[in-house]
Chains A and B, each alone.
Chain A
């Protein structure tokens, strides 16, 4: 299981500050941050600790198994961004 950032993300980056495995990108110190549409979690690195969910000021991070149907596609969106970043 993994956590997923959904579309109302505002790039506050509080999640990045608390992530113990550095799996949320782009980080504020990475070049892509200034033009990032949202932040994304790499599902292959996420350790399911829930820290990001607690840190997010607007509840935009959810456990993948608790995504409501209208946001289900964000699991794919996070995974796709992570895959492109790893290439």
Chain B
């Protein structure tokens, strides 16, 4: 047996795709070491800052995989380090055999309609980050003094936003929602949320569990506003027809509650209006047109104004380009072959650079969809390693983290993260919640002890 060399890998982004990649790599290669970098002091990515507070049971996935990585003794967390700002891609390549980018899709897509940027019109990505206590969104302000809000979009994030607006302080206080969001939502006057979908119920991206949950919302009527023929499930697959069955049941329910969530289909927003801030959303009716690409919507021109003081645009996440890496502007992803980052012009794979998660395949799928995606990337990396395609870096990873610390970086290691986690859980336990999140970067760093 030959003396095996270590394989040192940096993973950028400590969300689910990064953690899945770390565990796969550490499990499949006994010589691998992994350093996971995140620009935030906390671990978890969108599992911490995206998953809705009333769905916090899903957050346990971070713990499980992080502990699995930790148990190998070959993993380090390097939190509060912004790759591209605190350190460069080139520096990483001098200290690691390979780098996996798994920093996700943090930006939002735009509607491109007039009034989109009016005060009172927000991207759901920002709203979600705000109520989940993301340090970049602590100071954000929302208008909850109106009675009606409009949520644009027909996916789970749209439903999350609607639930958070309607659940009310008693329900929310039991969750790990950020304190500032709980305070603001406790004095909310919103009693109605209208959710707009350009297409029909069969095309909506809500998942079955999220629809089933609508039947159990306390004191909230759910109104399904769609012509009956659109609720017909002929020709649909099992998942789609099970989703539609829930919507049909909801459509037949009697209305009894004080608050209301209306799912309006075949309505497209064409403008957001208001003097200084949002006052209404102008919508157009649509009809469905089937073509080779699937079912799309076409505006038919019956306009309707919906009065609202708050608009949440939940039409999707979008990745931003990263310094030193190629970017596919059409797909908003990093071009790759089986996870190997590739040059868009020559089509050749770039040495030692890999991509996983939403940055690789776009913002779709659920948390677990990242597992197979990260696995594919890791196996490409290991193939390259075994083929001798990954060159020995000039320095070892410890040199880089020591340099960072010497330069004044307040690096949060795995023990620092454990201290944050414990502090949050202890504070939460005192209030009967799973955790009470520390929301500013300063509070997180103080708890981490750096």
Contact = CB atoms under 8 A, between A and B. Distances in A.
Given A10-B58, A10-B366, A36 B239 contact: yes
A34 to B, nearest CB: 7
Interface in A30-87: 32-38, 57-60, 70, 73, 77, 80-81, 84-85
A7 B367 contact: no
A34 B365 contact: yes
A31 to B, nearest CB: 10
Nearest to A36: B239
Nearest to B216: A70
Interface in B351-376: 365-369, 371-372
A1 to B, nearest CB: 22
A12 B367 CA distance: 7
Interface in A2-50: 6-13, 28, 32-38
Given A11-B369, A37-B207, A57 B60 contact: yes
A70 B57 CA distance: 15
Contacts of A85: 238
B64 A8 contact: no
B242 A81 contact: yes
B208 A28 contact: no
Contacts of B58: 8, 10, 58
A11 B242 contact: no
Interface string B206-220: 011110110010000
B368 A12 contact: yes
Nearest to B372: A28
Contacts of A10: 58, 61, 366-368
A38 to B, nearest CB: 6
Given A8-B55, A11-B366, A38 B208 contact: yes
Contacts of A80: 242
A33 B374 CA distance: 16
Interface of B: 55, 57-58, 60-61, 64-65, 207-210, 212-213, 216, 237-239, 241-243, 365-369, 371-372
15 contacts: A8-B57, A12-B61, A12-B367, A32-B237, A32-B238, A37-B207, A37-B239, A37-B366, A57-B61, A57-B64, A58-B58, A60-B57, A77-B242, A81-B242, A84-B238
Given A7-B213, A8-B58, A38-B209, 19 more contacts: A9-B368, A10-B61, A10-B366, A11-B369, A13-B368, A32-B238, A33-B372, A34-B369, A36-B239, A38-B207, A57-B60, A58-B58, A70-B216, A77-B242, A80-B242, A81-B238, A81-B239, A84-B238, A85-B238
Interface of A: 6-13, 28, 32-38, 57-60, 70, 73, 77, 80-81, 84-85
Q: Across chains A and B, which 5 residue pairs bring their CB atoms closest together, nearest first?
A: A7-B209, A11-B368, A37-B207, A57-B64, A10-B367
